[in-house]
Protein backbone atom coordinates (compact mmCIF):
# COMPACT_ATOMS: atom_id res chain seq x y z
CA UNK A 1 0.00 0.00 0.00
CA UNK A 2 1.52 3.36 -1.03
CA UNK A 3 1.90 6.41 1.24
CA UNK A 4 -1.37 8.00 0.14
CA UNK A 5 -3.46 4.86 0.60
CA UNK A 6 -1.80 3.95 3.92
CA UNK A 7 -2.30 7.40 5.47
CA UNK A 8 -5.82 7.62 4.15
CA UNK A 9 -6.78 4.18 5.41
CA UNK A 10 -5.88 5.19 8.95
CA UNK A 11 -7.83 8.45 8.84
CA UNK A 12 -10.76 6.76 7.07
CA UNK A 13 -11.02 4.08 9.73
CA UNK A 14 -11.18 6.72 12.44
CA UNK A 15 -13.81 8.67 10.54
CA UNK A 16 -15.94 5.59 10.03
CA UNK A 17 -16.05 4.79 13.74
CA UNK A 18 -19.25 5.69 15.52
CA UNK A 19 -19.27 8.74 17.82
CA UNK A 20 -19.40 6.36 20.77
CA UNK A 21 -16.26 4.45 19.76
CA UNK A 22 -14.12 7.06 18.00
CA UNK A 23 -11.51 8.14 20.56
CA UNK A 24 -10.70 10.80 19.69
CA UNK A 25 -13.13 11.44 16.88
CA UNK A 26 -11.42 12.24 13.59
CA UNK A 27 -11.55 15.83 12.44
CA UNK A 28 -13.96 16.61 9.61
CA UNK A 29 -12.30 16.61 6.21
CA UNK A 30 -11.89 19.87 4.30
CA UNK A 31 -12.79 19.55 0.63
CA UNK A 32 -11.35 22.25 -1.64
CA UNK A 33 -14.29 23.07 -3.90
CA UNK A 34 -12.78 23.25 -7.39
CA UNK A 35 -9.48 23.88 -5.63
CA UNK A 36 -8.93 27.11 -3.75
CA UNK A 37 -11.46 28.60 -6.14
CA UNK A 38 -12.05 31.74 -4.11
CA UNK A 39 -8.45 32.78 -4.76
CA UNK A 40 -7.46 31.25 -8.12
CA UNK A 41 -9.42 30.40 -11.28
CA UNK A 42 -11.38 27.26 -10.51
CA UNK A 43 -10.26 23.82 -11.65
CA UNK A 44 -6.69 24.82 -12.40
CA UNK A 45 -3.49 23.24 -11.15
CA UNK A 46 -2.63 26.47 -9.30
CA UNK A 47 -6.01 26.38 -7.51
CA UNK A 48 -5.47 22.78 -6.44
CA UNK A 49 -1.89 23.34 -5.29
CA UNK A 50 -2.89 26.40 -3.26
CA UNK A 51 -5.65 24.35 -1.63
CA UNK A 52 -3.09 21.76 -0.55
CA UNK A 53 -0.84 24.50 0.84
CA UNK A 54 -3.81 25.80 2.82
CA UNK A 55 -4.39 22.40 4.39
CA UNK A 56 -7.19 20.83 2.33
CA UNK A 57 -7.64 17.08 2.69
CA UNK A 58 -9.38 16.62 -0.67
CA UNK A 59 -9.40 18.50 -3.96
CA UNK A 60 -12.58 18.46 -6.03
CA UNK A 61 -12.62 18.10 -9.84
CA UNK A 62 -15.92 18.38 -11.69
CA UNK A 63 -15.90 15.97 -14.62
CA UNK A 64 -17.29 16.47 -18.11
CA UNK A 65 -16.34 14.83 -21.41
CA UNK A 66 -14.56 15.82 -24.58
CA UNK A 67 -15.78 14.82 -28.04
CA UNK A 68 -13.25 11.99 -28.08
CA UNK A 69 -14.30 10.66 -24.68
CA UNK A 70 -11.69 12.08 -22.31
CA UNK A 71 -12.60 13.12 -18.75
CA UNK A 72 -11.85 16.84 -18.49
CA UNK A 73 -12.23 19.10 -15.49
CA UNK A 74 -14.73 21.96 -15.79
CA UNK A 75 -17.63 23.08 -13.63
CA UNK A 76 -19.98 22.71 -16.60
CA UNK A 77 -19.73 21.37 -20.11
CA UNK A 78 -20.54 24.92 -21.28
CA UNK A 79 -17.16 26.64 -21.06
CA UNK A 80 -17.57 30.27 -22.14
CA UNK A 81 -17.60 31.39 -18.52
CA UNK A 82 -14.42 29.59 -17.49
CA UNK A 83 -12.20 29.76 -20.60
CA UNK A 84 -11.26 32.13 -23.40
CA UNK A 85 -13.20 30.13 -26.01
CA UNK A 86 -15.60 32.99 -26.85
CA UNK A 87 -12.67 35.10 -28.01
CA UNK A 88 -11.10 32.41 -30.20
CA UNK A 89 -12.14 33.02 -33.84
CA UNK A 90 -11.15 29.50 -34.90
CA UNK A 91 -13.93 28.16 -32.68
CA UNK A 92 -16.64 30.74 -33.44
CA UNK A 93 -18.63 28.22 -35.49
CA UNK A 94 -18.83 25.82 -32.53
CA UNK A 95 -21.23 28.09 -30.66
CA UNK A 96 -24.48 26.22 -30.13
CA UNK A 97 -27.73 26.13 -28.17
CA UNK A 98 -28.53 22.95 -26.27
CA UNK A 99 -31.05 21.73 -23.71
CA UNK A 100 -29.22 20.22 -20.73
CA UNK A 101 -31.20 18.85 -17.80
CA UNK A 102 -34.22 20.79 -19.01
CA UNK A 103 -32.42 24.12 -19.30
CA UNK A 104 -31.80 25.87 -22.62
CA UNK A 105 -28.15 26.99 -22.75
CA UNK A 106 -26.19 28.88 -25.40
CA UNK A 107 -22.44 28.69 -25.62
CA UNK A 108 -19.54 26.37 -26.34
CA UNK A 109 -19.61 22.80 -25.04
CA UNK A 110 -16.80 20.39 -24.21
CA UNK A 111 -18.44 17.53 -26.08
CA UNK A 112 -17.97 19.48 -29.32
CA UNK A 113 -14.18 19.69 -28.90
CA UNK A 114 -11.46 17.08 -28.92
CA UNK A 115 -9.09 16.97 -25.99
CA UNK A 116 -6.33 18.44 -28.16
CA UNK A 117 -8.58 21.40 -29.01
CA UNK A 118 -9.62 21.92 -25.40
CA UNK A 119 -5.97 21.98 -24.39
CA UNK A 120 -5.43 25.09 -26.56
CA UNK A 121 -7.90 27.05 -24.41
CA UNK A 122 -6.92 28.98 -21.29
CA UNK A 123 -8.79 29.08 -18.01
CA UNK A 124 -10.22 32.23 -16.50
CA UNK A 125 -12.04 33.31 -13.35
CA UNK A 126 -15.78 32.55 -13.54
CA UNK A 127 -16.81 35.35 -11.11
CA UNK A 128 -14.44 38.25 -11.92
CA UNK A 129 -16.65 40.93 -10.37
CA UNK A 130 -16.69 39.07 -7.04
CA UNK A 131 -13.13 37.78 -7.31
CA UNK A 132 -10.97 40.34 -9.14
CA UNK A 133 -7.79 39.18 -7.41
CA UNK A 134 -8.32 35.70 -8.82
CA UNK A 135 -9.03 37.12 -12.28
CA UNK A 136 -5.45 38.43 -12.38
CA UNK A 137 -4.42 34.81 -13.01
CA UNK A 138 -6.59 34.50 -16.12
CA UNK A 139 -4.96 32.87 -19.12
CA UNK A 140 -2.12 31.20 -17.27
CA UNK A 141 -3.31 27.60 -17.31
CA UNK A 142 -4.98 25.03 -19.53
CA UNK A 143 -7.95 22.77 -18.81
CA UNK A 144 -6.70 19.74 -16.86
CA UNK A 145 -7.77 16.16 -17.42
CA UNK A 146 -8.95 14.03 -14.53
CA UNK A 147 -5.79 11.94 -14.82
CA UNK A 148 -3.70 15.09 -14.40
CA UNK A 149 -5.59 16.06 -11.23
CA UNK A 150 -5.09 12.58 -9.79
CA UNK A 151 -1.38 12.79 -10.60
CA UNK A 152 -1.23 16.20 -8.89
CA UNK A 153 -2.90 14.81 -5.76
CA UNK A 154 -0.45 11.90 -5.63
CA UNK A 155 2.53 14.20 -6.14
CA UNK A 156 1.31 16.57 -3.42
CA UNK A 157 0.73 13.61 -1.08
CA UNK A 158 4.35 12.53 -1.58
CA UNK A 159 5.62 16.10 -1.18
CA UNK A 160 3.67 16.93 1.98
CA UNK A 161 3.67 13.50 3.61
CA UNK A 162 -0.09 13.58 4.11
CA UNK A 163 -2.89 11.99 2.10
CA UNK A 164 -4.47 14.34 -0.44
CA UNK A 165 -7.64 12.80 -1.81
CA UNK A 166 -9.70 13.50 -4.91
CA UNK A 167 -13.45 14.07 -4.85
CA UNK A 168 -14.73 13.94 -8.46
CA UNK A 169 -18.26 14.93 -9.41
CA UNK A 170 -19.99 13.35 -12.38
CA UNK A 171 -21.64 16.33 -14.11
CA UNK A 172 -24.81 15.83 -16.15
CA UNK A 173 -24.30 12.06 -16.63
CA UNK A 174 -27.78 11.49 -18.08
CA UNK A 175 -27.18 14.20 -20.66
CA UNK A 176 -23.77 12.83 -21.61
CA UNK A 177 -25.24 9.35 -21.97
CA UNK A 178 -27.90 10.80 -24.30
CA UNK A 179 -25.18 12.05 -26.67
CA UNK A 180 -23.28 8.78 -26.63
CA UNK A 181 -20.72 9.69 -23.95
CA UNK A 182 -21.64 7.81 -20.76
CA UNK A 183 -19.39 8.90 -17.92
CA UNK A 184 -19.76 6.18 -15.28
CA UNK A 185 -17.65 3.44 -16.87
CA UNK A 186 -14.99 5.94 -17.96
CA UNK A 187 -14.60 7.22 -14.42
CA UNK A 188 -14.58 3.72 -12.96
CA UNK A 189 -11.80 2.72 -15.35
CA UNK A 190 -9.82 5.86 -14.59
CA UNK A 191 -9.96 5.04 -10.88
CA UNK A 192 -8.84 1.48 -11.55
CA UNK A 193 -5.95 2.73 -13.68
CA UNK A 194 -4.93 5.08 -10.84
CA UNK A 195 -5.10 2.38 -8.16
CA UNK A 196 -8.10 4.04 -6.53
CA UNK A 197 -10.73 1.33 -6.97
CA UNK A 198 -11.11 0.56 -3.27
CA UNK A 199 -13.32 1.64 -0.40
CA UNK A 200 -10.28 2.78 1.59
CA UNK A 201 -8.83 4.75 -1.34
CA UNK A 202 -8.58 8.54 -0.96
CA UNK A 203 -11.56 9.21 -3.20
CA UNK A 204 -15.26 9.98 -3.05
CA UNK A 205 -17.42 10.03 -6.20
CA UNK A 206 -20.33 12.46 -6.04
CA UNK A 207 -23.36 13.23 -8.19
CA UNK A 208 -26.72 15.01 -7.98
CA UNK A 209 -28.36 12.32 -10.11
CA UNK A 210 -29.39 9.11 -8.35
CA UNK A 211 -29.31 6.48 -11.10
CA UNK A 212 -25.71 7.21 -12.18
CA UNK A 213 -24.54 6.67 -8.60
CA UNK A 214 -26.41 3.38 -8.48
CA UNK A 215 -24.78 2.39 -11.77
CA UNK A 216 -21.38 3.43 -10.48
CA UNK A 217 -21.86 1.15 -7.47
CA UNK A 218 -21.79 -1.82 -9.88
CA UNK A 219 -18.59 -0.62 -11.55
CA UNK A 220 -16.29 0.51 -8.74
CA UNK A 221 -15.58 -0.04 -5.05
CA UNK A 222 -14.86 3.68 -4.56
CA UNK A 223 -17.11 5.47 -2.09
CA UNK A 224 -20.13 7.38 -3.37
CA UNK A 225 -21.85 10.54 -2.13
CA UNK A 226 -25.34 11.69 -3.07
CA UNK A 227 -25.50 15.44 -3.55
CA UNK A 228 -28.72 17.19 -2.53
CA UNK A 229 -29.81 20.71 -3.37
CA UNK A 230 -31.71 23.07 -1.11
CA UNK A 231 -34.73 22.75 -3.40
CA UNK A 232 -35.10 19.00 -2.71
CA UNK A 233 -35.17 18.67 1.10
CA UNK A 234 -37.30 15.53 0.87
CA UNK A 235 -34.23 13.63 -0.28
CA UNK A 236 -32.74 14.07 3.19
CA UNK A 237 -35.73 13.41 5.41
CA UNK A 238 -35.63 10.21 7.46
CA UNK A 239 -36.95 8.01 4.63
CA UNK A 240 -34.87 9.73 1.98
CA UNK A 241 -31.66 9.14 3.94
CA UNK A 242 -32.50 5.44 4.23
CA UNK A 243 -32.78 5.29 0.46
CA UNK A 244 -29.43 7.04 0.04
CA UNK A 245 -27.80 4.63 2.48
CA UNK A 246 -28.76 1.73 0.21
CA UNK A 247 -26.42 2.86 -2.58
CA UNK A 248 -24.09 5.54 -1.21
CA UNK A 249 -21.58 6.02 1.59
CA UNK A 250 -22.46 9.63 2.24
CA UNK A 251 -24.71 12.59 1.57
CA UNK A 252 -23.64 16.04 0.39
CA UNK A 253 -26.44 18.50 1.23
CA UNK A 254 -26.58 22.21 0.58
CA UNK A 255 -25.27 23.55 3.88
CA UNK A 256 -28.55 25.36 4.59
CA UNK A 257 -30.19 21.94 4.94
CA UNK A 258 -27.95 21.41 8.00
CA UNK A 259 -27.94 24.95 9.40
CA UNK A 260 -31.09 26.85 8.31
CA UNK A 261 -30.93 30.59 7.77
CA UNK A 262 -34.46 31.82 8.37
CA UNK A 263 -34.50 35.55 9.04
CA UNK A 264 -30.98 36.02 7.74
CA UNK A 265 -29.33 34.39 10.76
CA UNK A 266 -28.00 30.93 11.52
CA UNK A 267 -30.56 28.69 13.14
CA UNK A 268 -30.33 25.52 15.20
CA UNK A 269 -29.13 22.41 13.33
CA UNK A 270 -31.73 20.24 11.63
CA UNK A 271 -31.88 16.50 12.41
CA UNK A 272 -30.09 15.71 9.13
CA UNK A 273 -26.64 15.02 10.56
CA UNK A 274 -27.76 12.82 13.45
CA UNK A 275 -30.13 10.85 11.24
CA UNK A 276 -27.52 10.35 8.53
CA UNK A 277 -24.79 9.35 10.96
CA UNK A 278 -27.13 6.83 12.59
CA UNK A 279 -27.34 5.16 9.18
CA UNK A 280 -23.55 5.14 8.82
CA UNK A 281 -23.52 7.94 6.24
CA UNK A 282 -20.84 10.58 5.96
CA UNK A 283 -22.21 14.15 5.83
CA UNK A 284 -20.30 16.63 3.64
CA UNK A 285 -22.28 19.86 3.15
CA UNK A 286 -21.51 22.33 0.36
CA UNK A 287 -20.42 25.06 -0.35
CA UNK A 288 -19.18 27.63 2.16
CA UNK A 289 -18.00 30.82 0.47
CA UNK A 290 -16.61 33.94 2.11
CA UNK A 291 -18.20 36.67 0.01
CA UNK A 292 -21.21 38.57 1.34
CA UNK A 293 -23.10 37.55 -1.80
CA UNK A 294 -23.24 33.96 -0.49
CA UNK A 295 -23.86 34.60 3.21
CA UNK A 296 -27.06 35.17 5.19
CA UNK A 297 -27.76 38.82 5.95
CA UNK A 298 -26.66 38.72 9.60
CA UNK A 299 -23.18 37.50 8.63
CA UNK A 300 -22.46 40.07 5.91
CA UNK A 301 -19.81 42.65 6.62
CA UNK A 302 -21.11 45.37 4.29
CA UNK A 303 -23.34 46.06 1.31
CA UNK A 304 -20.52 45.18 -1.08
CA UNK A 305 -21.32 41.66 -2.38
CA UNK A 306 -17.63 40.97 -3.05
CA UNK A 307 -16.45 41.86 0.47
CA UNK A 308 -15.91 39.00 2.87
CA UNK A 309 -18.30 38.39 5.73
CA UNK A 310 -18.26 35.95 8.63
CA UNK A 311 -18.08 32.64 6.76
CA UNK A 312 -16.19 31.27 9.75
CA UNK A 313 -19.44 31.32 11.72
CA UNK A 314 -21.06 29.05 9.13
CA UNK A 315 -18.12 26.64 9.23
CA UNK A 316 -18.05 26.50 13.02
CA UNK A 317 -21.81 25.87 13.14
CA UNK A 318 -21.45 23.00 10.66
CA UNK A 319 -18.58 21.46 12.60
CA UNK A 320 -20.54 21.81 15.85
CA UNK A 321 -23.49 20.04 14.20
CA UNK A 322 -21.28 16.99 13.68
CA UNK A 323 -20.62 16.99 9.94
CA UNK A 324 -17.78 14.74 8.81
CA UNK A 325 -16.57 17.05 6.07
CA UNK A 326 -17.26 20.39 4.40
CA UNK A 327 -16.82 21.90 0.94
CA UNK A 328 -15.39 25.40 0.69
CA UNK A 329 -14.05 27.73 -2.00
CA UNK A 330 -11.70 28.95 0.76
CA UNK A 331 -10.15 25.78 2.21
CA UNK A 332 -7.68 27.74 4.33
CA UNK A 333 -10.61 29.37 6.12
CA UNK A 334 -12.26 25.98 6.61
CA UNK A 335 -9.05 24.56 8.08
CA UNK A 336 -8.66 27.47 10.50
CA UNK A 337 -12.30 27.26 11.62
CA UNK A 338 -11.88 23.54 12.24
CA UNK A 339 -8.98 24.18 14.60
Q: Which residues are catalytic?
A: 33, 75
Give first-to-last CA distance, the chain, whole Å: 30
The CB density around residue 3, as the number of other CB atoms within 10 Å, is 13
Spatial distance between the Cα atoms of 233 and 260, rounded to a whole number of angstroms: 12
Residue 212, CA distances (Å) to 4, 67, 121, 143, 263 in order: 27, 20, 29, 25, 36
Strands 223-228 and 250-253: parallel
Residue 102, CA distances (Å) to 98, 113, 215, 234 in order: 9, 22, 22, 21
Residue 47, Cα to own-chain centre: how many angstroms?
13
For residues 264, 76, 192 and 45, what is the CA-based torsion angle, rounded to 10 degrees?
A: -80
Spatial distance between the Cα atoms of 333 and 299, rounded to a whole number of angstroms: 15
The closest alpha carbon to 12, from 198, 227, 251, 188, belongs to 198
The closest alpha carbon to 170, from 94, 248, 236, belongs to 248
Residue 67, CA distances (Å) to 112, 215, 227 in order: 5, 22, 26
- DSSP letters for 1-15: --HHHHHHHHHHHHH
The CB density around residue 143, as the number of other CB atoms within 10 Å, is 24
C-alpha triplet 106, 330, 281: angle, nearest 5°: 90
Tally helices (H) and strands (E) across the chain: 12, 13
What SS3 state is found at 194?
coil
Amino acid sequence: MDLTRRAFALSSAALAASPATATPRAKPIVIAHRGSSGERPEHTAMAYRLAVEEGADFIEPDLVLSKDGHLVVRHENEIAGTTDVAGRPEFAARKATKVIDGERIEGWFTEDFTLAELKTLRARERLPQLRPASARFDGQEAIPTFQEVVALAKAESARTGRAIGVYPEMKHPAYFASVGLPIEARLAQALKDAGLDAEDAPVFVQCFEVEPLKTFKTLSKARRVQLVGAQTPGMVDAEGLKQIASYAHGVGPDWSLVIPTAGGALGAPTPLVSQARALGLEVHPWTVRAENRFLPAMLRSADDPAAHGDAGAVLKALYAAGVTGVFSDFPGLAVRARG
